[in-house]
Structure 1
Amino acid sequence: MIVALLNQKGGVGKTTLALNLAGEWSRRGKRVTLIDADPQGSALDWSEARSREGLPRLFGVVGLARDTLHREAPDLAQSADHVVIDGPPRVAGLMRSALLAADLVLIPVQPSPLDGWASAEMLALINEARIYRPQLTARFVLNRCGARTLIARDTAEALSDNDPPVLVQTVGQRVAFASAAQSGRLVSELDKDTPGAQEIAALVSEIDRLRIERSGS
Protein backbone atom coordinates (compact mmCIF):
# COMPACT_ATOMS: atom_id res chain seq x y z
CA MET A 1 0.00 0.00 0.00
CA ILE A 2 1.16 3.51 -0.84
CA VAL A 3 0.01 6.12 1.69
CA ALA A 4 0.43 9.81 0.87
CA LEU A 5 0.15 12.54 3.50
CA LEU A 6 -0.96 15.62 1.64
CA ASN A 7 -2.36 19.06 2.34
CA GLN A 8 -1.75 22.23 0.40
CA LYS A 9 -1.62 24.10 3.70
CA GLY A 10 1.81 23.97 5.33
CA GLY A 11 2.46 23.47 9.03
CA VAL A 12 -0.20 20.81 9.62
CA GLY A 13 2.29 18.14 10.73
CA LYS A 14 2.60 16.00 7.60
CA THR A 15 6.25 15.08 8.17
CA THR A 16 5.78 14.23 11.85
CA LEU A 17 2.84 11.97 11.04
CA ALA A 18 4.61 10.39 8.05
CA LEU A 19 7.71 9.51 10.08
CA ASN A 20 5.82 8.16 13.07
CA LEU A 21 3.36 6.14 10.97
CA ALA A 22 6.29 4.63 9.05
CA GLY A 23 8.03 3.86 12.34
CA GLU A 24 4.96 2.20 13.84
CA TRP A 25 4.46 -0.03 10.79
CA SER A 26 8.14 -0.92 10.95
CA ARG A 27 7.79 -1.74 14.65
CA ARG A 28 5.00 -4.14 13.68
CA GLY A 29 7.31 -6.01 11.36
CA LYS A 30 6.35 -4.36 8.07
CA ARG A 31 8.87 -3.42 5.38
CA VAL A 32 8.54 0.33 4.98
CA THR A 33 9.99 2.97 2.68
CA LEU A 34 9.35 6.67 3.26
CA ILE A 35 9.48 9.00 0.26
CA ASP A 36 10.39 12.59 1.08
CA ALA A 37 8.52 14.44 -1.67
CA ASP A 38 8.76 17.82 0.06
CA PRO A 39 11.43 20.09 -1.46
CA GLN A 40 12.29 21.22 2.10
CA GLY A 41 13.60 17.70 2.77
CA SER A 42 12.63 17.51 6.46
CA ALA A 43 12.31 13.71 6.48
CA LEU A 44 15.75 13.39 4.91
CA ASP A 45 17.11 15.74 7.59
CA TRP A 46 15.54 13.49 10.25
CA SER A 47 17.17 10.43 8.68
CA GLU A 48 20.58 12.14 8.69
CA ALA A 49 20.16 13.15 12.33
CA ARG A 50 19.33 9.53 13.17
CA SER A 51 22.47 8.35 11.41
CA ARG A 52 24.63 10.89 13.29
CA GLU A 53 23.20 9.57 16.57
CA GLY A 54 24.25 6.05 15.59
CA LEU A 55 20.69 4.76 15.77
CA PRO A 56 19.60 1.68 13.78
CA ARG A 57 17.71 2.24 10.56
CA LEU A 58 14.02 1.43 10.98
CA PHE A 59 12.99 2.13 7.38
CA GLY A 60 14.46 3.60 4.25
CA VAL A 61 14.06 7.30 3.44
CA VAL A 62 14.29 8.31 -0.22
CA GLY A 63 14.16 11.83 -1.64
CA LEU A 64 11.83 12.05 -4.65
CA ALA A 65 10.60 15.64 -4.82
CA ARG A 66 9.67 15.52 -8.48
CA ASP A 67 6.53 15.12 -10.54
CA THR A 68 7.50 11.66 -11.82
CA LEU A 69 6.61 10.27 -8.40
CA HIS A 70 3.63 8.31 -9.73
CA ARG A 71 5.96 6.35 -11.99
CA GLU A 72 8.73 5.78 -9.42
CA ALA A 73 6.79 5.04 -6.22
CA PRO A 74 5.18 1.80 -7.52
CA ASP A 75 8.68 0.40 -8.17
CA LEU A 76 9.57 1.02 -4.51
CA ALA A 77 6.28 -0.57 -3.44
CA GLN A 78 7.34 -3.89 -5.01
CA SER A 79 9.91 -4.40 -2.24
CA ALA A 80 7.92 -2.89 0.65
CA ASP A 81 4.69 -3.59 2.50
CA HIS A 82 4.04 0.13 2.88
CA VAL A 83 5.37 3.18 1.08
CA VAL A 84 4.68 6.42 2.96
CA ILE A 85 4.88 9.68 1.00
CA ASP A 86 5.59 12.90 2.90
CA GLY A 87 4.02 15.29 0.44
CA PRO A 88 4.78 18.91 -0.47
CA PRO A 89 2.75 22.02 0.37
CA ARG A 90 1.37 23.93 -2.62
CA VAL A 91 3.38 22.33 -5.42
CA ALA A 92 0.65 21.40 -7.89
CA GLY A 93 2.67 19.08 -10.16
CA LEU A 94 4.17 17.17 -7.24
CA MET A 95 0.80 16.99 -5.48
CA ARG A 96 -0.91 15.51 -8.54
CA SER A 97 1.90 13.00 -9.00
CA ALA A 98 1.65 11.89 -5.34
CA LEU A 99 -2.12 11.48 -5.70
CA LEU A 100 -1.70 9.31 -8.78
CA ALA A 101 0.81 7.15 -6.91
CA ALA A 102 -1.28 6.67 -3.77
CA ASP A 103 -3.76 4.02 -2.67
CA LEU A 104 -4.66 6.03 0.45
CA VAL A 105 -4.42 9.79 0.96
CA LEU A 106 -4.33 11.10 4.52
CA ILE A 107 -5.10 14.81 4.84
CA PRO A 108 -3.79 16.15 8.18
CA VAL A 109 -5.76 19.15 9.44
CA GLN A 110 -5.49 21.12 12.64
CA PRO A 111 -8.59 21.86 14.75
CA SER A 112 -9.45 25.16 13.13
CA PRO A 113 -12.25 26.24 10.79
CA LEU A 114 -9.57 27.72 8.54
CA ASP A 115 -8.03 24.27 8.04
CA GLY A 116 -11.42 22.86 7.09
CA TRP A 117 -11.99 25.60 4.56
CA ALA A 118 -8.46 25.29 3.18
CA SER A 119 -9.10 21.64 2.35
CA ALA A 120 -11.50 22.47 -0.51
CA GLU A 121 -8.70 22.78 -3.06
CA MET A 122 -7.18 19.53 -1.83
CA LEU A 123 -10.51 17.75 -2.32
CA ALA A 124 -10.75 19.08 -5.87
CA LEU A 125 -7.34 17.53 -6.62
CA ILE A 126 -8.46 14.20 -5.14
CA ASN A 127 -11.57 14.18 -7.32
CA GLU A 128 -9.39 14.94 -10.33
CA ALA A 129 -7.05 12.04 -9.45
CA ARG A 130 -10.01 9.66 -9.11
CA ILE A 131 -10.66 10.02 -12.83
CA TYR A 132 -7.48 7.97 -13.30
CA ARG A 133 -7.46 6.16 -9.93
CA PRO A 134 -11.15 5.49 -9.09
CA GLN A 135 -10.20 3.27 -6.13
CA LEU A 136 -8.23 6.05 -4.43
CA THR A 137 -9.26 6.24 -0.75
CA ALA A 138 -8.92 9.44 1.28
CA ARG A 139 -9.37 10.35 4.95
CA PHE A 140 -8.91 13.47 7.07
CA VAL A 141 -6.73 13.16 10.19
CA LEU A 142 -7.19 15.62 13.05
CA ASN A 143 -3.63 16.46 14.11
CA ARG A 144 -2.04 18.70 16.73
CA CYS A 145 -5.20 18.93 18.76
CA GLY A 146 -6.64 18.32 22.18
CA ALA A 147 -9.29 15.65 21.68
CA ARG A 148 -11.57 17.19 24.32
CA THR A 149 -11.36 20.79 23.15
CA LEU A 150 -14.48 22.41 21.74
CA ILE A 151 -12.73 23.55 18.56
CA ALA A 152 -11.47 20.02 17.84
CA ARG A 153 -14.99 18.69 18.25
CA ASP A 154 -16.40 21.41 16.00
CA THR A 155 -13.77 20.73 13.33
CA ALA A 156 -14.50 16.99 13.45
CA GLU A 157 -18.22 17.68 13.09
CA ALA A 158 -17.62 20.03 10.14
CA LEU A 159 -15.44 17.47 8.38
CA SER A 160 -17.90 14.65 9.09
CA ASP A 161 -20.20 16.15 6.47
CA ASN A 162 -17.50 15.80 3.83
CA ASP A 163 -16.33 13.06 1.56
CA PRO A 164 -13.68 11.97 2.49
CA PRO A 165 -14.62 11.29 6.13
CA VAL A 166 -12.42 11.98 9.14
CA LEU A 167 -10.65 9.19 11.01
CA VAL A 168 -11.83 8.64 14.58
CA GLN A 169 -8.34 8.68 16.11
CA THR A 170 -6.86 12.13 16.70
CA VAL A 171 -3.25 13.08 17.42
CA GLY A 172 -2.48 15.66 20.07
CA GLN A 173 -0.20 18.68 20.09
CA ARG A 174 2.63 17.16 22.12
CA VAL A 175 6.17 18.35 22.87
CA ALA A 176 7.35 14.72 22.67
CA PHE A 177 7.04 14.71 18.87
CA ALA A 178 9.42 17.65 18.46
CA SER A 179 11.80 16.36 21.13
CA ALA A 180 12.07 12.99 19.42
CA ALA A 181 12.54 14.44 15.93
CA GLN A 182 15.48 16.64 16.94
CA SER A 183 17.63 13.57 17.54
CA GLY A 184 16.31 11.44 14.68
CA ARG A 185 13.97 9.49 16.93
CA LEU A 186 10.28 8.63 16.92
CA VAL A 187 7.89 9.32 19.76
CA SER A 188 7.58 5.58 20.48
CA GLU A 189 11.34 5.37 21.02
CA LEU A 190 11.15 7.88 23.86
CA ASP A 191 8.48 5.84 25.61
CA LYS A 192 5.96 3.59 23.86
CA ASP A 193 3.47 4.19 26.70
CA THR A 194 3.28 7.97 26.30
CA PRO A 195 0.01 9.46 24.95
CA GLY A 196 1.67 10.44 21.66
CA ALA A 197 2.98 6.93 21.01
CA GLN A 198 -0.37 5.42 21.90
CA GLU A 199 -2.17 7.81 19.55
CA ILE A 200 0.12 6.86 16.67
CA ALA A 201 -0.37 3.15 17.40
CA ALA A 202 -4.14 3.58 17.49
CA LEU A 203 -4.05 5.59 14.24
CA VAL A 204 -2.07 2.83 12.48
CA SER A 205 -4.55 0.24 13.75
CA GLU A 206 -7.46 2.28 12.40
CA ILE A 207 -5.76 2.65 9.01
CA ASP A 208 -5.02 -1.08 8.92
CA ARG A 209 -8.71 -1.80 9.51
CA LEU A 210 -9.50 0.00 6.24
CA ARG A 211 -7.87 -3.03 4.54
CA ILE A 212 -6.62 -1.08 1.55
CA GLU A 213 -4.74 -3.12 -1.00
CA ARG A 214 -2.28 -1.91 -3.60
CA SER A 215 -4.24 -1.27 -6.79
CA GLY A 216 -2.93 -1.23 -10.33
CA SER A 217 -1.85 2.05 -11.86
Structure 2
Amino acid sequence: MIVALLNQKGGVGKTTLALHLAGQWASEGKRVTLIDADPQGSALDWSQQRARAGLPRLFGIVGLARDTLHREAPELARDADHIVIDGPPRIAGLMRSALLAADLVLIPVQPSPFDGWASAEMLALITEARIYRPDLAARFVLNRCAARTVIARETAETLADHDPPLLAATIGQRIAFADLAQTGRLVFEADADSMAAREIAALATEVGRLSP
Protein backbone atom coordinates (compact mmCIF):
# COMPACT_ATOMS: atom_id res chain seq x y z
CA MET A 1 0.00 0.00 0.00
CA ILE A 2 1.22 3.49 -0.88
CA VAL A 3 0.06 6.09 1.66
CA ALA A 4 0.63 9.79 0.96
CA LEU A 5 0.35 12.45 3.66
CA LEU A 6 -0.71 15.59 1.85
CA ASN A 7 -2.10 19.01 2.60
CA GLN A 8 -1.66 22.29 0.77
CA LYS A 9 -1.34 23.99 4.15
CA GLY A 10 2.08 23.76 5.79
CA GLY A 11 2.70 23.14 9.47
CA VAL A 12 0.00 20.49 9.95
CA GLY A 13 2.44 17.75 10.96
CA LYS A 14 2.78 15.74 7.73
CA THR A 15 6.41 14.80 8.33
CA THR A 16 5.88 13.81 11.97
CA LEU A 17 2.97 11.55 11.06
CA ALA A 18 4.79 10.08 8.05
CA LEU A 19 7.86 9.19 10.11
CA HIS A 20 5.81 7.70 12.93
CA LEU A 21 3.56 5.68 10.63
CA ALA A 22 6.61 4.27 8.86
CA GLY A 23 8.34 3.57 12.18
CA GLN A 24 5.29 1.89 13.70
CA TRP A 25 4.83 -0.43 10.74
CA ALA A 26 8.57 -1.21 10.69
CA SER A 27 8.44 -2.08 14.41
CA GLU A 28 5.70 -4.59 13.56
CA GLY A 29 7.99 -6.34 11.09
CA LYS A 30 6.71 -4.69 7.91
CA ARG A 31 9.06 -3.72 5.09
CA VAL A 32 8.66 0.05 4.82
CA THR A 33 10.14 2.78 2.63
CA LEU A 34 9.46 6.46 3.25
CA ILE A 35 9.61 8.78 0.25
CA ASP A 36 10.56 12.35 1.15
CA ALA A 37 8.74 14.30 -1.57
CA ASP A 38 9.15 17.65 0.19
CA PRO A 39 11.94 19.82 -1.29
CA GLN A 40 12.74 20.94 2.28
CA GLY A 41 13.88 17.36 2.97
CA SER A 42 12.80 17.25 6.61
CA ALA A 43 12.49 13.46 6.69
CA LEU A 44 15.96 13.09 5.18
CA ASP A 45 17.30 15.53 7.78
CA TRP A 46 15.68 13.42 10.51
CA SER A 47 17.33 10.30 9.10
CA GLN A 48 20.74 11.98 9.14
CA GLN A 49 20.20 13.12 12.71
CA ARG A 50 19.34 9.57 13.67
CA ALA A 51 22.51 8.26 12.02
CA ARG A 52 24.65 10.86 13.81
CA ALA A 53 23.13 9.71 17.10
CA GLY A 54 24.20 6.14 16.32
CA LEU A 55 20.63 4.82 16.25
CA PRO A 56 19.73 1.83 14.05
CA ARG A 57 17.88 2.37 10.80
CA LEU A 58 14.21 1.44 11.13
CA PHE A 59 13.16 1.87 7.50
CA GLY A 60 14.54 3.19 4.23
CA ILE A 61 14.17 6.85 3.27
CA VAL A 62 14.42 8.00 -0.35
CA GLY A 63 14.38 11.60 -1.56
CA LEU A 64 12.03 11.95 -4.56
CA ALA A 65 10.93 15.57 -4.67
CA ARG A 66 10.06 15.53 -8.37
CA ASP A 67 6.97 15.23 -10.49
CA THR A 68 7.93 11.77 -11.80
CA LEU A 69 7.08 10.36 -8.37
CA HIS A 70 4.00 8.50 -9.65
CA ARG A 71 6.19 6.54 -12.06
CA GLU A 72 8.95 5.76 -9.54
CA ALA A 73 6.95 4.91 -6.41
CA PRO A 74 5.39 1.70 -7.80
CA GLU A 75 8.90 0.37 -8.47
CA LEU A 76 9.83 0.93 -4.83
CA ALA A 77 6.55 -0.64 -3.72
CA ARG A 78 7.53 -3.98 -5.24
CA ASP A 79 10.03 -4.51 -2.42
CA ALA A 80 7.95 -3.09 0.43
CA ASP A 81 4.78 -3.82 2.36
CA HIS A 82 4.12 -0.11 2.80
CA ILE A 83 5.33 3.04 1.07
CA VAL A 84 4.79 6.28 3.01
CA ILE A 85 5.05 9.56 1.09
CA ASP A 86 5.82 12.72 3.03
CA GLY A 87 4.23 15.16 0.63
CA PRO A 88 5.16 18.67 -0.48
CA PRO A 89 3.40 21.91 0.48
CA ARG A 90 1.76 23.91 -2.31
CA ILE A 91 3.74 22.60 -5.28
CA ALA A 92 1.12 21.64 -7.85
CA GLY A 93 3.21 19.31 -10.05
CA LEU A 94 4.64 17.41 -7.09
CA MET A 95 1.28 17.23 -5.37
CA ARG A 96 -0.43 15.79 -8.44
CA SER A 97 2.34 13.24 -8.89
CA ALA A 98 2.03 12.14 -5.25
CA LEU A 99 -1.74 11.79 -5.66
CA LEU A 100 -1.32 9.64 -8.76
CA ALA A 101 1.18 7.44 -6.91
CA ALA A 102 -0.97 6.84 -3.82
CA ASP A 103 -3.52 4.20 -2.92
CA LEU A 104 -4.58 6.24 0.12
CA VAL A 105 -4.24 9.95 0.90
CA LEU A 106 -4.16 11.06 4.53
CA ILE A 107 -4.94 14.75 5.00
CA PRO A 108 -3.67 15.94 8.39
CA VAL A 109 -5.68 18.82 9.81
CA GLN A 110 -5.44 20.64 13.10
CA PRO A 111 -8.50 21.62 15.15
CA SER A 112 -9.02 25.00 13.51
CA PRO A 113 -11.57 26.34 11.00
CA PHE A 114 -8.64 27.69 8.97
CA ASP A 115 -7.38 24.15 8.36
CA GLY A 116 -10.84 23.15 7.12
CA TRP A 117 -10.94 26.01 4.67
CA ALA A 118 -7.40 25.35 3.47
CA SER A 119 -8.24 21.71 2.73
CA ALA A 120 -10.78 22.70 0.04
CA GLU A 121 -7.99 23.08 -2.53
CA MET A 122 -6.61 19.69 -1.50
CA LEU A 123 -10.00 18.07 -2.03
CA ALA A 124 -10.23 19.59 -5.50
CA LEU A 125 -6.89 17.99 -6.38
CA ILE A 126 -8.12 14.62 -5.09
CA THR A 127 -11.24 14.90 -7.25
CA GLU A 128 -9.03 15.65 -10.25
CA ALA A 129 -6.72 12.70 -9.48
CA ARG A 130 -9.71 10.32 -9.31
CA ILE A 131 -10.28 10.88 -13.02
CA TYR A 132 -7.13 8.80 -13.50
CA ARG A 133 -7.22 6.85 -10.21
CA PRO A 134 -10.93 6.19 -9.50
CA ASP A 135 -10.10 3.90 -6.56
CA LEU A 136 -8.00 6.53 -4.78
CA ALA A 137 -9.05 6.57 -1.11
CA ALA A 138 -8.73 9.58 1.19
CA ARG A 139 -9.19 10.29 4.89
CA PHE A 140 -8.77 13.26 7.19
CA VAL A 141 -6.67 12.71 10.30
CA LEU A 142 -7.02 15.10 13.23
CA ASN A 143 -3.52 16.00 14.45
CA ARG A 144 -2.14 18.12 17.30
CA CYS A 145 -5.51 17.84 18.95
CA ALA A 146 -6.22 18.95 22.51
CA ALA A 147 -9.10 16.51 22.82
CA ARG A 148 -11.24 18.34 25.38
CA THR A 149 -11.27 21.75 23.73
CA VAL A 150 -14.44 23.06 22.12
CA ILE A 151 -12.73 23.73 18.80
CA ALA A 152 -11.36 20.17 18.64
CA ARG A 153 -14.84 18.79 19.22
CA GLU A 154 -16.36 21.14 16.65
CA THR A 155 -13.71 20.25 14.07
CA ALA A 156 -14.31 16.53 14.60
CA GLU A 157 -18.08 17.01 14.34
CA THR A 158 -17.71 19.03 11.13
CA LEU A 159 -15.50 16.39 9.51
CA ALA A 160 -17.62 13.47 10.77
CA ASP A 161 -20.13 13.93 7.96
CA HIS A 162 -17.52 14.97 5.43
CA ASP A 163 -16.25 13.27 2.32
CA PRO A 164 -13.53 12.15 2.70
CA PRO A 165 -14.35 10.88 6.19
CA LEU A 166 -12.35 11.43 9.35
CA LEU A 167 -10.29 8.61 10.85
CA ALA A 168 -11.35 7.54 14.32
CA ALA A 169 -7.73 7.67 15.55
CA THR A 170 -6.57 11.17 16.51
CA ILE A 171 -3.14 12.42 17.52
CA GLY A 172 -2.84 14.73 20.50
CA GLN A 173 -0.82 17.90 20.97
CA ARG A 174 2.15 16.29 22.69
CA ILE A 175 5.55 17.86 23.33
CA ALA A 176 7.25 14.47 22.97
CA PHE A 177 6.95 14.60 19.17
CA ALA A 178 8.95 17.83 18.90
CA ASP A 179 11.47 16.95 21.62
CA LEU A 180 12.30 13.54 20.21
CA ALA A 181 12.52 14.72 16.59
CA GLN A 182 15.66 16.65 17.49
CA THR A 183 17.35 13.39 18.49
CA GLY A 184 16.15 11.29 15.56
CA ARG A 185 13.96 9.11 17.76
CA LEU A 186 10.29 8.20 17.57
CA VAL A 187 7.86 8.28 20.48
CA PHE A 188 7.57 4.51 20.87
CA GLU A 189 11.37 4.26 21.22
CA ALA A 190 11.29 6.62 24.19
CA ASP A 191 8.25 5.11 25.91
CA ALA A 192 6.17 2.42 24.21
CA ASP A 193 3.42 2.86 26.81
CA SER A 194 3.10 6.62 26.42
CA MET A 195 -0.14 8.16 25.19
CA ALA A 196 1.68 9.44 22.09
CA ALA A 197 2.95 5.95 21.23
CA ARG A 198 -0.49 4.42 21.77
CA GLU A 199 -2.11 7.03 19.53
CA ILE A 200 0.38 6.33 16.73
CA ALA A 201 -0.18 2.57 17.08
CA ALA A 202 -3.94 3.09 16.81
CA LEU A 203 -3.49 5.28 13.73
CA ALA A 204 -1.22 2.70 12.03
CA THR A 205 -3.72 -0.07 12.78
CA GLU A 206 -6.66 1.89 11.38
CA VAL A 207 -4.77 2.95 8.26
CA GLY A 208 -3.51 -0.59 7.74
CA ARG A 209 -7.10 -1.85 7.64
CA LEU A 210 -7.76 0.43 4.67
CA SER A 211 -5.25 -1.48 2.55
CA PRO A 212 -6.76 -2.09 -0.91
TM-score (norm 2): 0.99
Correspondences of 1:152-171 after superposition (within 5 Å):
152-171=152-171
How far does the alpha carbon of each residue in 1:144-202 deviate from its partner, in whole angstroms, 9 at most, with x for none?
Answer: 01122211110011112321000011101111001111011111111011111000001
Secondary structure in 2 aligned to 1:34?
strand
The two structures, once aligned, show a CA RMSD in angstroms of 0.7
Aligned counterpart, 1:145: 145
Shift, 1:135, TM fit: 0.5
Report the more deviating stretch, 71-80 or 144-153: 144-153
Q: Verify: 1:181 aligned to 2:174, yes or no.
A: no
Correspondences of 1:184-195 after superposition (within 5 Å):
184-195=184-195
Aligned counterpart, 1:202: 202
Shift, 1:209, TM fit: 2.1
Separation in structure 2 between the aligned mates of residue 85 and residue 208 of structure 1, nearest angstrom: 15
Separation in structure 1 between the aligned mates of residue 153 and residue 20 of structure 2, nearest angstrom: 24
5+ residue gaps in structure 2?
Answer: none
Aligned counterpart, 1:46: 46
How far does the alpha carbon of each residue in 1:1-43 deviate from its partner, in whole angstroms, 9 at most, with x for none?
Answer: 0000000000000000000000000011000000000000000
Correspondences of 1:90-105 after superposition (within 5 Å):
90-105=90-105
Correspondences of 1:101-140 after superposition (within 5 Å):
101-140=101-140
Aligned residue pair count: 212
Separation in structure 2 between the aligned mates of residue 150 and residue 81 of structure 1, nearest angstrom: 39
Aligned counterpart, 1:84: 84
* Runs of 4+, deviation exceeding 3 Å: none
Separation in structure 1 between the aligned mates of residue 82 and residue 148 of structure 2, nearest angstrom: 32
Separation in structure 2 between the aligned mates of residue 208 and residue 36 of structure 1, nearest angstrom: 20
One-letter amino acid of the structure 2 residue matched with residue 40 of structure 1: Q
Q: Verify: 1:20 aligned to 2:6, yes or no.
A: no
Secondary structure in 2 aligned to 1:172?
coil
Secondary structure in 1 aligned to 2:176?
helix
Secondary structure in 1 aligned to 2:4?
strand
Separation in structure 1 between the aligned mates of residue 52 and residue 84 of structure 2, nearest angstrom: 23
How far does the alpha carbon of each residue in 1:71-90 deviate from its partner, in whole angstroms, 9 at most, with x for none?
Answer: 00000000000000000010
How far does the alpha carbon of each residue in 1:41-76 deviate from its partner, in whole angstroms, 9 at most, with x for none?
Answer: 000000000000111100001000000000000000
5+ residue gaps in structure 1?
Answer: none
Separation in structure 2 between the aligned mates of residue 66 and residue 49 of structure 1, nearest angstrom: 24
